[in-house]
Chain A
Amino acid sequence: MHFGPHLLLAALEGLVTSAVLALTALGLSLVFGVMRIVNVAHGEFFMLGAVLAWAISTAISGHPAIGFAAALVIAPLLVGLIAFLAEWLVLRRLNYNPESTIVATIGMLYIIQQLALTFYGPEARPVEPPFSYRILLPWFGYSGYKLSVVAASAILLVVTWLVLTRTRIGLIMRATQYDRETAQAFGIPVERVYAGVFAIGAMLAAIAAVLIVPISQAHYLMGQDPLLLSFIVVIIGGLGSLRGTVVAAVLIGLSDGIVSMFFSPTLAKIIATLAVAMVLVFRPQGLFGTTPR
């Protein structure tokens, strides 16, 4: 295929990756930014979203769009509830001590993964997309659903941005992130904010997974890659910066597709990972973050 169309295809694919990555990473960034903890189980909330989407969409018969729509609403809520419980039962009692949280979230990772294996099984199972429309370009065909994922993600990101910047809840969250003690002094129920943020972070990951699951399949180990990539995005984009997260997600998603045009995939990954590491070595606050206070 000629270079131009190849580049277009790589760019389209990169956009889809970025779309899903931006949502997942945003969830992590919120948790990271507001609560200052590392949630190693974030990828498992992603996986849960996909697995629950499969369960809901197979339980509802009829046109796939109905099942998918139901999954899009119900799965994130369920995952949010699970995250809320985890935070309330475990993380709160640890006083969000960084090291203890890592161990606790590793424990959560094992538990969630194992429960998924026991109840969902080891197979990868498909979920029907709400619609199948093949867009025919002169050089190749492309899935219409994939483009809708990009659109849906963009809408969700805008909505999140609006909530964060224009609503009171968003203001409270940003205040808590900026300075916890002062926020508390102003009467903000920091503990409840933390619980809410943790739940929202998980929900964002779950929604991203529901969007992607008709393209890839639901599998109990699918949370591992998104976790790694989300971390990269969050750090590159800068802690607590929504704009940074989105820009970094787009950069990383696009580069993944385009770099692999020129190099063998493994070599491409090596170069990309090394580049990310070097960015961090020489600019630890990421692209948009402020140096930590």
Chain B
Amino acid sequence: MADKNGFFDLSRTTLSRRTALKGIAAGAGLALAPGFVRYSQAQSSAPIKIGFQSHRTGIGAAYGRWYEKTSAAAVKAINDAGGIGGRQVELVIEDDGTDPARGAEVVNKFAKQHKTDIVFGTLFSHVVIGSAPAAGENKIPYFVVSEGHHVASTKLNRYVFQPGITDVKSQIQSMAPWIAANAGKKVTQIFPDFAFGYDHRDYLPPALKAQGADVIAQIAIPPTESSFTKYFPQIPAETEVIYHVMVGPAVLTFVKELGEFYGSQRPQLFGFMDSLEAVDINSPGLEFLDGSHFWEGSPRYAQPDDSAAQKAYRAAVGIDDNGAAVGDAKDISTASHMFGCWETLYVVKKAMEDAGYKGPEDRAKLVEATEALKEFAEGPEHPQGPKTFNGKIHQCFGIQNISKVEGGKLKVVHKTKIEDGLYEPEGDYTTQAL
């Protein structure tokens, strides 16, 4: 029998079982009744499936919950307004255990078993990096809400996007002018001894230098550390500002011990809200933070000058004026990050509609349509603030907030400009083949 499908032809570049199946299907199709109508006509009313890769267990679990809440609220809002291109949106959720290997398996599951249109929602950097290859191999667009610099570094692949949340390099850079002008010029950095901390260790010194300030000491603390007092003696006496980005379950201990060590005679403190996401700022032991400042992605507490869009967003997600879940004042949200889910889903909507997206066969068009986006105006779809988008590095840029702990709340005292956070692109995804 002649080898029509090239089964045994070793010069073929890929052994494709697709070819085998297609051959069989073609033969079967010919044998079937000619009146066989494909589903494609009815496809336009089939829902758009978004695979949500959630951290339901593992170290990211506290974030996973709020990411799911915000995403569900955004999907509801989108569906109530008619969906994407007239089609309703459906979230398919899988737990990745905040583990990179499992993340890759989940991406495969979305692409091959659930057959979702895109994958969305991952937060932790190492999981994003571990899952990205799977997204690239499956050629499925992967919209992450991670805040890491890895997407913008152009070291992943052309299918990974971060259009709804700014990256940490941009955030750190934006903080430098205010810190140098208002907090102090001699800065000691305390950060966790892993990737998230390294970003701060690497990006802050040059940014501060450009503003005439200096990082005089950098203290790396192992992420599993549960007690911090032994590191404090390393803080130089002439420190004017302690810049702290400790994350993890031990953050409360960190602040408490800092308070015990210094008492009331302390340097200025500047922190990132990552330390206290989902933690009540009025928890016992955090009194030491009174009067200090924090970076916030989106303000946790309702501000007097909140836009109508911000108010509507808060109501839709279900957080009260203190940033806690409506009805449970102890359930503090991850306000500085979760807005990224809302905004990313609206970016997906825009890109899909721009591309005339019909189904998985249009994924390449979706990638190109996303890359063509330039800016997002502040409004109901982007309640955190206006953004620009760089299609070459797949990363958005936006405004940042600096808030002060005052009277048991966080009060926004400064908003940066988008230009404060811009940096030179390191590469160009659009040159990669799809």
Contact = CB atoms under 8 A, between A and B. Distances in A.
A–B: direct contact at CB < 8 Å: yes
B278 A5 contact: no
B65 to A, nearest CB: 7
Interface stretch (B127-135, B257-265, B417-425): B257-265
A124 B229 contact: no
Given A5-B233, A221-B249, A261-B230, A122 B62 contact: yes
Contacts of B61: 117, 122
A160 B95 CA distance: 44
Interface stretch (A100-108, A166-174, A212-220, A273-281): A212-220
B284 interface: yes
B307 interface: no
A216 B230 contact: no
B187 interface: no
B220 A265 contact: yes
Contacts of B252: 124, 126, 217
A87 interface: no
A264 interface: yes
A49 interface: no
A141 B233 contact: no
A124 B260 contact: no
Given A117-B61, A216-B227, A141 B260 contact: yes
A77 to B, nearest CB: 25
Contacts of A140: 232-233, 261
A265 B222 contact: yes
Interface in A218-277: 219, 221-222, 225, 257, 260-261, 264-266, 269
Nearest to B278: A123
A142 B230 CA distance: 11
Interface in A129-154: 134, 136, 140-143
A13 interface: yes
B62 A126 contact: no
Contacts, number: 91
A10 interface: yes
A225 B257 CA distance: 20
Contacts of A10: 230, 233
A14 B227 CA distance: 10
Contacts of B251: 124
Contacts of A136: 263
B253 interface: yes
A260 B230 contact: yes
Interface in B196-236: 220-222, 224-227, 229-234
A283 interface: no
Contacts of A124: 248-252, 279
18 contacts: A1-B233, A5-B233, A9-B229, A9-B232, A17-B227, A117-B61, A122-B62, A122-B65, A123-B62, A126-B283, A141-B260, A141-B262, A221-B59, A221-B249, A261-B233, A264-B193, A265-B193, A265-B221
Interface of B: 57, 59, 61-62, 64-65, 193, 220-222, 224-227, 229-234, 237, 248-253, 256-257, 260-263, 278-279, 283-285
Closest 7 CB pairs of A and B: A122-B61, A124-B249, A219-B249, A1-B233, A6-B233, A122-B62, A216-B226
Given A122-B57, A141-B261, 14 more contacts: A9-B232, A117-B57, A123-B279, A124-B248, A124-B251, A124-B279, A142-B260, A142-B261, A215-B256, A216-B226, A216-B250, A216-B253, A217-B253, A221-B59
